[in-house]
Structure 1
Amino acid sequence: MGKKETTFDQNTLEYDRWFEEHPCIYQSEILAIQQALPKDKSGIEIGVGTGRFAETLHIKFGVEPSANMARMAKKRGVHIYTAYSENLPIENESFDFALMVTTVCFISDIPRAFSEVHRILRPKGEIIVAIIDKNSALGKKYQAGQSSSKFYKEAHFHSTEVITELLKQSGFHDFDFWQTLAKPDENEIEKPIKGYGQGSFVVIKAVK
């Protein structure tokens, strides 16, 4: 799956700077993901980007196809597998959990990616998928501005229900949900709440 240099390669610094410019949104997302992360387990982030989430969440391994983003993630202490999520160069049953943060909207073949994650997880391992829900206020805003967005121009947003169904089809079960960014405020960190349907940022956890 060779691809030419992507928007993420060309605008790595701008992407990474976003987290510094929107600290309350970033921290709100971190808090929601932390609800789902298992404690003291071996994990990997698929689509680790510049390592912003992996570093804060103490995840030591990541998968990232963008060379420039992977370089930044390495500087943050993440061991990188250079690959796409549909074809992971990782042995079967290698990790206790896998995290994907706003990654599925950029994946060409989501069922194949989820099957690959299922393969690399140990028995009873957990997948944690964080998305901007297609039907949420933020999801609608991003879709409306897609044509002029560097990063979301080629994204395909999905609903929580669709991602949940795709996870079920890949063999995952026992679902939990958390949500945040119900009313995104640049000056306030939002506490996550269980379920979905109110917050724009939804964390889905399921078990192998």
Structure 2
Amino acid sequence: MPKRSIAFYDDSAYNYQKYWFERQYENESEKICLKRLFKLIPQKQTLADIGGGFGRLVPEYANEFSQCLLVDPSERLLKEAQQLCRKYKNLKIKKGFVENLPIENQQFDVALLIRTFHHL
């Protein structure tokens, strides 16, 4: 498999949080979709947010699920997620790619891959 570059997200000149601040309509639309989706899920124990970046959507799911995992390949975005999401004690943050997740024999009730497929 060819090695992918994540340098764009690790570039200190690129502000991914600002990118989302300027896209409130899209951001709010995704939050509404998640709220509706979660209403349909009877068992809300575990959730994996694959490609979760700086944790933009963590507030939408961390209070709904008992255990949450955010995975992203960008070290810079993961550091931001650790700062922004430190109040969520049920959230683990790990570095990894979707093809080789940093988890062993773990199943999730929900796996989110939001705005990630174009990177695969």
TM-score by length of 2: 0.74
Between 1:64-73 and 1:9-18, the stretch displaced more is 9-18
The CA deviation at 1:29 is 1.4
Q: Which has the higher contact order (CA 8 A, sep 6+)?
A: 2
In 2, the alpha carbon distance for the partners of 1:5 and 1:64 equals 10
1:60-87 CA distances to partner (integer Å, 9 max, x unpaired)? 3111110000111112134212111101
Call closer, same or farther: CA 1:4–1:93 in 2, change over 3 Å. closer
Q: Which residue does 2:18 correspond to in 1?
A: 17
Query: Is 1:95 the equivalent of 2:108?
Result: yes
In 1, the alpha carbon distance for the partners of 2:104 and 2:60 equals 26
The partner residue of 1:64 within 72, 90, 111 is 72
Which of the pair is proportionally richer in strand?
1
- Alpha-carbon contact 1:50-1:69 (below 8 Å) kept: yes
Give the superposed CA RMSD. Answer: 2.4
Match of 1:79, SS? strand
Contiguous gaps of at least 5 residues in structure 2: none
The CA deviation at 1:92 is 2.0
- Alpha-carbon contact 1:12-1:69 (below 8 Å) kept: no
- Alpha-carbon contact 1:48-1:63 (below 8 Å) kept: yes
User: What is the number of equivalent residue pairs in this alignment?
Assistant: 107
2:23 maps to amino acid: H
Larger Rg: 1
- Alpha-carbon contact 1:50-1:73 (below 8 Å) kept: yes
**Runs ≥4 residues deviating over 3 A:** 1-5
Identity across matched positions, percent = 25
